[in-house]
Amino acid sequence: MPRPQKCRWVKCEPNINYFKPVGIPMHSLSEVVLTVEEFEAIRLKDLEGLEQEDCAERMKVSRPTFFRIIMSAREKVADALVNGKAIRVEGGNYKVYGEDAPHHGHCHRHGMMSESIPDEEN
């Protein structure tokens, strides 16, 4: 039996959780699913420009675990960009540590986020 996955800390849940190529109808799109912790890894490493050790520390995971998270996230984003797929950000195993969030409590495995896919066709 595998060991339970350690909870990953994220600053906040994303405000926008769906990205799609312009001009392609929703029904024609394939999509990739980026977990909230993968989204956080991209934010910390690629947007904030932090070193992997600092990113891992903020997410409360080991450096090898952070490396696996960021590589998975980058592979999914590359697949979406190169192959014209939509990106849905949802799910994962995380706890929010932002200013308004409590710094204690239980980590929950999160499923689909409350926002739904846009209705637009383009």
First to last CA, the chain: 45
Q: What is the domain range of residue 79?
A: 30-96
Q: Distance between CA 52 and CA 70 in Å, rounded?
A: 9
Does 66 map to a domain?
yes
- 90 pLDDT more than 80: yes
Does 114 map to a domain?
no
Does 74 map to a domain?
yes
Residue 53: CATH number of its domain: 1.10.10
Does 45 map to a domain?
yes
Q: What is the band of 7 on the pLDDT scale with cuts at 50, 70, 90?
A: confident
Q: What average pLDDT does the segment 16-20 reach?
A: 94
What are residue 95's phi and psi, to 5 degrees?
A: -135, 135
Best CA proximity match to 31, nearest among 93, 95, 99, 77 = 77
Number of domains present in the structure of the chain:
1
pLDDT digits (tens, 9 = 90+) for 31-48: 999 999 999 999 999 999
Report the share of the chain in percent with pLDDT over 70.
80
